[in-house]
Amino acid sequence: MKRNIKAELIEKKISDGFKRINFSLPSDLKKAIEGALKKESVFLARFTLENILKNNRIAGKSRLPLCQDCGLAVIYVEIGEDINIKGSLTAAINRGVEEAYSSAFLRKSVCGPLTRKNTGNNLPPVIHYNFAKGDSLKIHIMSKGGGSDNKSRLKMLNPSDGLEGIMDFVCETVKKAGSSACPPYIVGIGIGGSFDTVSFLAKKALFRKIGTGNRDKNLNKTERYILERINRLNIGAGGFGGVTTALAVHINSEPCHIASLPVAVNINCHSARSLLLKF
Amino acid sequence: MKIHYLKTPVKDNVLERLKAGDIVYLSGDIFTARDTAHKLTCKLIKSGKKVPFNIKGEIVYYCGPAPGIKKGSVGSCGPTTSSRMDRHTPLLLKKGIKAMIGKGVRSDKVIKSIVKNKAVYFAAPAGLGALLSKCIRKSEVLAFGELGPEAVYRFHIEDMPLIVAVDSKGKCIYKA
């Protein structure tokens, strides 16, 4: 017997979710920023971190979005094979996004790539569908800012470049992002797969809660090592120098072709707005 | 590091006293323009046509605000990445823009142009649109209304917190 889930419920939860993430920082991120403030001594970096926390209080109280860039809606759906959705899943997701962005006065930031004409409703979102065992539906939602996405990069390395090559590419990418993409950053890294999947791996890594280390022991160690290297770059909060350029490094990895070593780096700003919806 | 309280229009000799790293609380009128508004404005200038708003002596804010709940109000309104405007900035400085507000580093060409025109580049707290929204007292569309959030708005601001990121001598505050 398959479990039934109504499309209307999905629409409602998507809409509520996007409103929620645009008005307050997730608790893991807030904690990470408070931690960074404790360690910081550079005056302007402290000024930035204190203002991030102040901004969070104002946003929650005044119902003003944390950032004017309320993002492109990125949605990752895990569909249990034993569920039956009553109605159209894609239509429900689209309606939920549109409802949130129009009723909560969020900025609509989607336009034609060449015409630059705004679609007016923040549609379409970017949606990834995957199947999983069981009878649950999980929807990860994210409001992804354009400024930080712009600084993300992908490179097809040679297998012999190895871990050193990956780390150099990641640090070079963060250095190029510099002060422009609202540091302190969350750095999502995809390793392996193929040209098309590696960027998805990197973005998916941004959904992981800060402070939850990688389940793979080696990747966990690599994440900590790369984070240390990034934080030695002295870009710092707001780009004014200091000890915290990134709050976290998250890696997602998959097997790849013997000829290849794809790597992607997706940068997220300090307003890293995401949420997991469970059904 | 000094703290200054300034009102627009800001006089040249006051701008020249500001040093990279100083904090400025700015009040008065500024206008917004980002990617498409820059492109359109520079196209008008280059073709000798009239720009539908004043540039000379003004301060431009690289911002595409979120919609306000009430008419004339502004939602979240933090700065966007300034480097995207770099290719158009020298022309606007030549036409009399006195200061820019945005986030992140500028190109060497822009910094040279800042020095040449005795202008200033301010960094606004990045990604903190809710906080900055509290500094906007009034807002109206000046031009290119069809661009939605990318339109040119006139903001009347009060005590907007800014950091002098590039001063009129070309000194830059950004690290790495």
Q: What ipTM was assigned to the predicted interfaces of this complex? A: 0.89
Mean pLDDT of A129-137: 96
Supply the DSSP string of A98-165, one letter for each residue. Answer: HHHHHHTT-----B-TTT--B-SS-PPPEEEEEEESSS-EEEEEEEE-HHHHTT-EEEEE-GGGHHHH
CB A148 within 8 A of CB A181: yes
Taking contacts as CB-CB distances below 8 angstroms, the residues of chain A near B176 are: 175, 178-179, 233-235, 239, 241
B104–A120 C-beta distance less than 8 A: no
A116–B148 C-beta distance less than 8 A: no
pLDDT band at A183, cuts 50/70/90?
A: very high
Closest-CA distance, A166 to chain B, in angstroms, reads 20
Average pLDDT over chain A reads 96
Closest-CA distance, B127 to chain A, in angstroms, reads 5
SS (H, E, C) A155-173: EEECHHHHHHHHHHHHHHH
- Per DSSP, helices labelled H in A24-128 are 27-39, 43-62, 89-103
Residues 204-223 of chain A whose Cβ lies under 8 A from any Cβ of chain B = none
pLDDT band at A244, cuts 50/70/90?
A: very high
Q: What is the pLDDT of residue B176?
A: 56
Q: In sequence order, which residues have a C-beta less than 8 Å from that of residue A229 and are 6 or more positions away?
A: A167, A171
Query: Quick count: other Cβ atoms within 10 Å of Cβ A275?
Result: 17
B123–A234 C-beta distance less than 8 A: no
DSSP helix/strand/coil, A253: strand
Give A37-85 pLDDT, tens digit per residue.
999 999 999 999 999 999 999 999 999 999 999 999 999 999 999 999 9
- Interchain CB contact of A43 with B (< 8 Å): yes
Closest-CA distance, B144 to chain A, in angstroms, reads 12
Identify which of A47, A52, A68 has the shortest CB distance to residue B63: A68
- Interchain CB contact of A125 with B (< 8 Å): no
Q: What is the pLDDT of residue A1?
A: 80
Q: What is the pLDDT of residue B175?
A: 72
- Cα A31 from Cα A21, distance rounded (Å): 16
Q: What is the pLDDT of residue A255?
A: 98
pLDDT at A237 over 70: yes
Identify which of B63, B66, B82 has the shortest CB distance to residue A65: B66
Name the helix (H) or strand (E) containing A226: helix A217-231
Closest-CA distance, A156 to chain B, in angstroms, reads 26
Q: What is the pLDDT of residue B172?
A: 95
B174–A68 C-beta distance less than 8 A: no
Give A209-234 pLDDT, tens digit per residue.
998 989 999 999 999 999 999 999 99
Q: Phi-psi category of B57—alpha, beta or left, where left has phi over 0 and alpha has psi -120 to 50?
A: left
A236–B64 C-beta distance less than 8 A: no
B88 is catalytic: no
Q: What is the pLDDT of residue A213?
A: 87
Identify which of B23, B35, B64 has the shortest CB distance to residue A68: B64
- Interchain CB contact of A58 with B (< 8 Å): yes
A108–B148 C-beta distance less than 8 A: yes
Judge residue A259's burial from the number of C-beta atoms within 10 Å of its C-beta, 0-12 exposed, 13-18 middle, 19 or more buried.
exposed
- Cα A194 from Cα A17, distance rounded (Å): 31
Q: What is the pLDDT of residue A214?
A: 94
- Nearest chain B residue (CA) to A232: B176
B76–A67 C-beta distance less than 8 A: yes
Closest-CA distance, A249 to chain B, in angstroms, reads 19
pLDDT at A31 over 70: yes
- Per DSSP, helices labelled H in chain B are 12-17, 35-46, 89-94, 108-116, 129-133
Q: Phi-psi category of B83—alpha, beta or left, where left has phi over 0 and alpha has psi -120 to 50?
A: alpha
B148–A64 C-beta distance less than 8 A: no
Question: Tens digit of pLDDT per residue, chain B (176 long)?
Answer: 899 999 999 999 999 999 999 999 999 999 999 999 999 999 999 999 999 999 999 999 999 999 998 887 899 999 999 999 999 999 999 999 999 999 999 999 999 999 999 999 999 999 999 999 999 999 999 999 999 899 999 999 999 999 999 999 999 998 75
CB B140 within 8 A of CB B74: no
CA distances from A275 to A62, A191, A214, A247 (A): 21, 23, 19, 18
